[in-house]
Amino acid sequence: MSKILLLLSFVFIINIVVAQQTITFESSDNLIVTADLYEQTKEQPYLLLFHQSGSSRGEYKEIIPKIKKLGFNCLVVDLRFGKEMNFVQNETSIAAKTAGVKINMIDAEKDIIAAIEYASKKSNKPLVIMGSSYSASLCLKVAKDNPKIKAVVAFSPGEFFLPDLNIKNTIKGLQKPIFAASSQREFSFLKELFSDIGTEYKTLYQPTKGKGEHGAKALWANSDGSKEYWLNLMMFLNKHK
């Protein structure tokens, strides 16, 4: 019996190793970007996930299993502007400080583009990208004119880059499916941000059974209204695989 349990434990460990692989790739300014790759089959579409300020790829630790069940391969990226989340250090931020590379929020766009290039080499299908807070805004900007992007999920995007960059003006004319969610408090700003985007392209969501949460933390099980967020997100993702 003990041998059987040991074998099952070994198989379980192997499955975890195969399911998650920490990889690196270079950004356009030669910064080494760290990401976790969760690859199930080559035929499944890829969803790229980016964190909020002060965070890391650990922001998606409990989110990834549910995304995988929806039939996506996932690439969860450490952007240069971040620190730590759920005991997962932001390795890209550490590398940027070591190399003396710029680590402003807006410079993280280079890391997003590099992640898109990496994933697009693994799949001939258009990608879905998902951002949290400032990275949600950058995802919208990048998606507008990038043919490799099929759809965007944006949790709590906003005008984080003024006066250097106005996101509302930048994304005007974006014609790709968008799921954008926020807390109740943020929703009026969310509607204004997307006021120039056609209704046929945007799905805007605010929670009705709680105040909600800023960024992708809204999907955490202990967050107010997380089940509502998940239901609406899953309906969107199932349409845009």
Residue 28's CATH number: 3.40.50.1820
- The answer as to whether 207 is a domain residue is yes
The boundaries of the domain holding residue 47 are 21-239
- The answer as to whether 165 is a domain residue is yes
pLDDT of residue 18: 39
User: Locate tokens 């910064």: which residue?
Assistant: 31
Distance CA 199, CA 162 (A): 26
Instruction: Name the domain count of the chain.
Output: 1
pLDDT of residue 211: 94
Nearest to 180 by CA among 236, 225, 220: 236
Mean pLDDT for the stretch of residues 29-48? 95
Nearest to 36 by CA among 75, 91, 93, 73: 75
- The answer as to whether 2 is a domain residue is no
Q: What are phi and psi of 133, to 5 degrees?
A: 60, -120
93-130: per-residue pLDDT in tens?
999 999 999 899 999 999 999 999 999 999 989 999 99
- The answer as to whether 215 is a domain residue is yes
Distance CA 58, CA 110 (A): 20
What's this model's pTM, rounded to 2 decimal places? Answer: 0.91
- The answer as to whether 218 is a domain residue is yes
